[in-house]
Structure 1
Amino acid sequence: MNILFVADPLESFKIAKDTTFSMMREAQRRGHRIAVCEPRHLNWRSGGEVDAQVREITLTGDAPVWFTESGRPRRALRTFDAVLMRKDPPFDSEFFYATHLLEQAEREGARVFNRPAALRDHPEKLAVMEFPRFVSPTLVTRDPAEVRRFHAEHGDIILKPLDGMGGTGIFRVRADGLNLGSITETLNGNGTTTLMVQRFVPEISDGDKRVLVIGGKPVPHSLARIPQGSEVRGNLAAGGKGVARPLSARDGEIAEALGPVLAARGLLLVGLDVIGDWLTEINVTSPTCFQEITEQTGFDVPAMFVDALEAALATR
């Protein structure tokens, strides 16, 4: 099988923890061939097919040079057995345009995972609003007066941008309301940008759990990303400590309810973020934590993913 990964530059990978690398390694172990490109390499000429100049690679596992390259041909995306969209957020205009090019490649016969339309239809923070029974009190607005009313009702709140990643731009405002106005102005651009406000969930001290759902089925362990020191954010990129744990009953309930729904929409891999008993985000662009869970528990997450990918391709 020939697999194309649309991802960030190979040279930026941290292979000790990179999930895309773990996917590549498992695919190569099974005899599949690997090619890589970046979204900027996608092309669509009028009257032609969506193609890209790709890098055909073989993983060596050595660091810092962990792959060898055998060629850089230009190939139509439909000539690959699978195209995996693994570009990290943010979901900016260029990511949006890339999904349109990938969707055209689908029309030409390419099999793209996660499906481009599903990526566009599930913005990672907004997507939780479809499942209110699993979500703590949440407000999406650009109106500062609504933010103030939400704060008055709930007292201790979290404010964050809709397009943030890795914990960037997240603020906590306690009952005293200190700097609420200034934080709101910063995040909403004086009323021009929509933001999300959520009731603070104190169980964050026990970790922001990443629950992976592959092919509609949950991985049996989550990675609890635990804030360190005085930090309120558990994100690994913000210094959180990752600890793998078996899914709680509530984690399993959320994953079992959402998994089949999201899989039916073309989302082969989803990362649910759960704090305490509450769903806070649905990550669809490039969910991570494969290596951390595998190393700490022995459950082979990359193998589960490639199993699901092979099964999806076999249905065609």
Structure 2
Amino acid sequence: MSAERSPARRRLSMGEREMAVGYALLLPGLLGLAIFVVYPVISGVSLAFQSQYLLEPEKNRWVGFQNFVRFLTQEPKLGLYIGNTVRWVLGSVVGRVTLGMILALLLNRDMPFRGVYRALALIPWVMPGVVSAIIWQWIYNANWGIFNHILKVLGLIRENITWLADRKFIWPAILLVSIWHGYPFSYAFILAGLQVIPHDLYEAALIDGASRWASFRYITLPMLRPVLFVLLLLQTVWNANEFTAIWMLTKGGPADYTMTLAPLVYQTSFIFYRVGYGASIAVLLSAVVMTFAVIYIRTVRSEV
């Protein structure tokens, strides 16, 4: 009796082999994404539905939507936190994009040492946020800060100003830090967009007698619309989640006068140790930002 022959294996085609290699190459990246992104997000959302107090771990329990309801209905400073967040985002985004636009327009012109000026304009951006905040703390120092010294030399003030404690000056002071540290990204983004606008359009406008303002309004801005669309979205999302500048400069003070939602999450979770309640604030902030992003994209997409 002859032995049964085993069925011949089907050889993979070239396309199937390439697909298998592609999936094998993707696997490390997908694994890292699952470990460092997906798992933390799921854990954070899960914490938002629990009563997690680190000093009393034996009392940890599942509370459903209780943390969300508590924050939205029982938080006495909810209006202040939301107002501060809106003020921070609007001030930072408008300031960064406006200053970035001005510098990009200036440094897009032909001038001596243009490359040097372009590089110097990026210095605040490459500086770590913590280092930037510490430097501005020194600049704003009420006793020996250089900002007060310069204003005194110019005769604009007589007495030192506590820039990071006086409610009349604290918001302009911290927004100046935000704008200074974040404008280079807007500048680089807009400058890249300006360099792809055909110069022939400006020459034709000049021949037709168009002023610089008319060229900017009817040529530059329309051609930059896709760039500004992405830039405004990125700046809004980043500033809504900004933590470093506010925490390093004021820690949300005085008396929560500059507290926004992002530092509030940190304070609630790691200063007051109420991790579940802090996670619920983080989830709400993320939901609001994502909702804004979706509405913004759908609204602007048809115009770009």
Which bin holds the TM-score, normalised by the shorter protein?
under 0.3
Relative contact order: is structure 1 or structure 2 higher (C-alpha 8 Å, sep ≥ 6)? 2
Q: TM-score, normalised by structure 2?
A: 0.27
Task: Give the structure with the larger helix fraction.
Answer: 2
Larger Rg: 2
